[in-house]
Amino acid sequence: MKRPIGVIDSGVGGLTVAHEMMRQLPNETLIYLGDTLRCPYGSRSEQEIIQFTNEMVDFLLKKNIKMLVIACNTATAYTLENLRKTLPIPVLGVIKPGARAAIKMTVSNSIGVIGTEATIKSNAYEKALKNIKPEIEVQSLPCPLFVPMVESGILSGRKAEEIVRESLAPFIKQKNMDTLVLGCTHYPLLKETIQSVTGDDIKIISSSDETAREASAILEVHELLRADDDKTDHMFYTTGELDVFERITRELFKTTVHDIQKVNIHQINNSI
């Protein structure tokens, strides 16, 4: 089936998921939408998160997508179940795939989760982890500075390391924790810096790989996989400025992405 897969995120972080999907599903066409204008979602109210996510979904449904991937942990935590009930297409989030990957990796059964304030407040990862393995010990930590840092293009260097080190200070002292879940799709863009701060004894888990594998399995079950190998024309949309978005795509994809457009999907109001 030649219809595209829709991928949404609050900004550029979901590009890590899109990149892995492009690698694992080379025949599929993706349409990516990042709401960079209103990023980050992690400090937003639940009502705003739901409203903004629904506006992104409405935009992509007009593109005749065959599947929706919510490549944003915050949006997944607050909208996944309702979207699954209301949309006529398969919907996949990033929290459960990330939780499953962490369970596979941990030896000590002590897992750390870092994410936005809203994601950590939702306890979505702790619930997902304990549903799989009740004896798991979960420690959660909000890192509100990480998303703005990524959205401004600060991915490495002294400033990035200082912010990461200060943010993760409460976790560095945890002796039993052997696995750290990056509970925000922006965070893999900081993975090298995070790993240098935590040390090699901590296994860093990104949900991107597992999400792409689940997307492939869901498409196969629903008989939605694209059978031909014709050229795929991916499209990327952003609600904010193009410069940082273009810079992140170049760094992540190791090539220049030409099909990027700025779009207006929302009603701006002065209270937001």
What domains sit in the chain, N to C, each tagged with a CATH number? 5-93+209-262 (3.40.50.1860), 95-207 (3.40.50.1860)
Instruction: Look at 153 and 89; give whichever has higher pLDDT.
Output: 89
Stretch among 64-73, 115-124, 246-255 having the lowest mean pLDDT: 246-255
Catalytically active residues, by annotation: 72, 184
Exposure on the CB side of residue 161, measured as CA atoms within 13 A: 10
User: pLDDT at residue 28 above 60?
Assistant: yes
Give the pLDDT confidence score for residue 138 in this predicted structure. Answer: 95
pLDDT at residue 257 in the model: 72
Q: What are phi and psi of 108, to 5 degrees?
A: -85, -10
Query: Is residue 266 a known part of a binding site?
Result: no
Percent of the chain with pLDDT over 70: 96
124-141: per-residue pLDDT in tens? Answer: 999 999 999 999 999 999
Q: What is the model's pLDDT at position 67?
A: 98
- The pLDDT tens digits for 170-215 are 887 767 899 999 999 999 999 999 999 999 999 999 988 889 999 9
Q: Does the annotation list 42 as a binding residue?
A: yes
Q: Taking residues 76-89, report their average pLDDT.
A: 96
258 is in an annotated binding site: no
pLDDT reading at 255 higher than 80: no
Average pLDDT, the chain: 91
Picking from 140, 126, 135, the residue whose alpha carbon sits closest to that of residue 95 is 126
- Asked if residue 54 has pLDDT above 80, the reply is yes
- Answer yes or no: is 186 a known binding residue: yes
233 falls in which pLDDT band (50, 70, 90)?
confident
Task: Please name which of 258, 265, 269, 248 lies closest in space to residue 18, comparing C-alpha atoms.
Answer: 248
- Give 86's contacts (C-beta < 8 A, 6+ positions apart): none
Question: Residue 125 annotated as binding?
Answer: no
